[in-house]
C-alpha cells in the first residue's frame, strides 16, 4: 500500500488537512523557482523566517526597555499589544493547552494599561486635536 493510500485512511482534523494542502501547494509553486539554488525552498524560507523573528525580537526588546525605563510607556504598550494579540491568537487557534504564559502577559499588559489609560485618550479620539 502506498503512502498516499495510508494517509487517506487516518483520521485527520480538517485544520491539519488544510495545512497539508497549503504546504503541498507552496512546495509545488516554489519548487521550480528554487530548484537551481542550494538547499532549495527550505533554506530560502528559513532565512526569511529568521529575519522576521529577529524583527519581532527587536520590537519586544525595545518595548521592554521602554517599559523598564519609564519613558514612552504608551508607545511600548502599543507595540506590545500587537505582540500579545498574536501570541493569544496563535494559542487560541493552534495550541490551547499552552495558553497560560500568553494569558499572564495579557493580564500584566492590562494592569499597566489601566495605570496609563489617560495617555490613550487622544489615540482613540475620532477627530485629532488641533495644534494652535
Residue 102, pLDDT above cutoff 70: yes
Taking phi over 0 as left and psi of -120 to 50 as alpha, with beta for the rest, 125 belongs to beta
From residue 72, give the alpha-carbon distance in Å to each of 36, 62, 86, 113.
Answer: 48, 11, 22, 13
Higher pLDDT, 107 or 15: 107
Residue 1, pLDDT above cutoff 50: no
Domain regions of the chain by residue span: 12-34+41-118
Residue 97, pLDDT above cutoff 80: yes
Q: Which pLDDT value is given to residue 123? A: 74
Model pTM score: 0.59
Nearest to 81 by CA among 116, 128, 50: 116
Indicate the pLDDT class of residue 66, thresholds 50, 70 and 90.
very high
Amino acid at each position: 500500500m502506498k503512502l498516499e493510500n495510508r494517509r487517506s485512511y487516518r483520521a485527520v482534523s480538517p485544520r491539519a488537512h488544510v495545512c497539508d494542502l497549503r504546504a503541498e501547494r507552496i512546495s509545488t509553486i516554489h519548487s521550480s523557482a528554487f530548484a537551481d539554488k542550494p538547499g532549495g525552498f527550505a533554506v530560502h524560507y528559513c532565512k526569511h523566517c529568521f529575519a522576521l523573528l529577529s524583527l519581532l525580537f527587536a520590537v519586544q526588546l525595545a518595548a521592554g526597555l521602554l517599559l523598564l525605563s519609564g519613558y514612552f510607556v504608551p508607545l511600548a504598550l502599543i507595540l506590545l499589544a500587537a505582540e500579545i494579540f498574536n501570541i493569544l491568537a496563535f494559542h487560541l487557534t493552534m495550541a490551547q493547552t499552552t495558553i497560560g504564559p500568553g494569558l499572564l502577559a495579557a493580564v500584566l499588559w492590562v494592569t499597566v494599561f489601566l495605570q496609563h489609560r489617560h495617555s490613550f485618550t487622544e489615540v482613540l479620539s475620532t477627530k485629532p486635536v488641533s495644534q494652535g
